[in-house]
């Protein structure tokens, strides 16, 4: 049993765990990218079908209805893709947090490596929440959200123009308003979803090594070193 207290064995085990977490996060990123790519492929195929239908006389009188129906299908697929993409993003953040625990073990074992660690040695980083800033444009979710805005605007425009018989001007203004509302509603969904995942992760006490605690420890260590230097 004494062999299990060997730090070399512990380090090897933790390195294997760290690599497994990174591999799982990579797999989740690939799955998320595959879902988004599939959605974009369907969008491209739908665009090609609609363009071909416009050249056929039989479908020309139903062209707007075909576009509206296609947009409805794409909107449903886009909502599903966005939902799964956000779920995978939350899972990836959890995996990175678990990797932060292992990073913390190595920093505690040898404090000299702390300046060379690329990411925070804590299990409450990175954060789940995506704030309202330019960071919204960083992920695959933005592409899906953009197409959802377009398809939703097309559907509302068709309903107002052809079914409710509103004028083109009113239908266009309403479509723009729906586009803006749809964008912000999706942003709100992503923000709230990440917030709920973070709350759930905190409620089950999965945070053992908070970053603020690490900063306080570093601050105390620096003060202690400065006092030792002054005493010398």
What ranges do the domains of the chain cover? Answer: 2-227
Q: What is the mean pLDDT of the chain?
A: 84
Q: What is the pLDDT of residue 54?
A: 78
User: How would residue 105 be classed by pLDDT, with cut points 50, 70 and 90?
Assistant: very high
Q: Cite the DSSP H helix spans in 115-167.
A: 141-158
Q: What is the mean pLDDT of residues 29-57?
A: 90
Place of tokens 């797999």: 27
Closest by Cα among 96, 88, 122, 38 to 193: 88
Q: What is the pLDDT of residue 132?
A: 52
Closest by Cα among 110, 109, 101, 135 to 211: 101
Q: What is the mean pLDDT of residues 60-88?
A: 90
Answer whether residue 163 shows pLDDT above 60: yes
Gyration radius from the chain CA atoms: 26
Report phi then psi at 228, rounded to 5.
-65, -40
Q: What is the pLDDT of residue 127?
A: 78
Q: Are 96 and 127 in contact (CB under 8 A)?
A: no
Lowest mean pLDDT among 65-69, 103-107, 132-136, 212-216: 132-136
User: How would residue 61 be classed by pLDDT, with cut points 50, 70 and 90?
Assistant: confident
Kindly report the pTM of this predicted structure: 0.81
Burial bucket for residue 30 (CB in 10 Å: 0-12, 13-18, 19+) = exposed
Residue scoring higher pLDDT (221 or 119) = 119
Place of tokens 């559907």: 155
Answer whether residue 108 shows pLDDT above 80: yes
User: How would residue 217 be classed by pLDDT, with cut points 50, 70 and 90?
Assistant: confident
% of the chain beyond a pLDDT of 90: 40
Closest by Cα among 79, 73, 13, 84 to 46: 73
């Amino acid at each position: 049993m004494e062999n299990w207290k060997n730090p070399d064995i512990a380090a090897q085990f933790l390195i294997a765990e760290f690599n497994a977490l990174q591999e799982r996060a990579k797999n989740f990123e690939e799955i998320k990218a595959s879902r988004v790519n599939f959605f974009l492929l369907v969008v491209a195929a739908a665009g090609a079908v609609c363009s071909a239908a416009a050249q056929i006389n039989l479908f020309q009188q139903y062209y707007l209805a075909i576009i509206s129906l296609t947009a409805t299908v794409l909107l449903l697929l886009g909502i599903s893709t966005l939902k799964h993409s956000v779920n995978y993003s939350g899972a990836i953040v959890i995996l990175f947090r678990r990797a932060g625990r292992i990073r913390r073990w190595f920093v505690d074992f040898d404090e000299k490596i702390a300046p060379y660690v690329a990411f925070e040695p804590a299990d409450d980083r990175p954060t789940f929440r995506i704030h309202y800033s330019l960071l919204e444009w960083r992920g695959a979710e933005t592409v899906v959200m953009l197409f959802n805005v377009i398809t939703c605007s097309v559907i509302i425009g068709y309903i107002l123009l052809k079914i409710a018989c509103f004028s083109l001007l009113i239908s266009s203004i309403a479509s723009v308003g729906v586009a803006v509302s749809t964008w912000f509603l999706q942003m709100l969904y992503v923000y709230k979803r990440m917030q709920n995942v973070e709350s759930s992760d905190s409620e089950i006490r999965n945070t053992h090594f908070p970053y603020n605690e690490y900063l306080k420890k570093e601050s105390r260590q620096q003060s202690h070193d400065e006092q030792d230097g002054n005493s010398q």
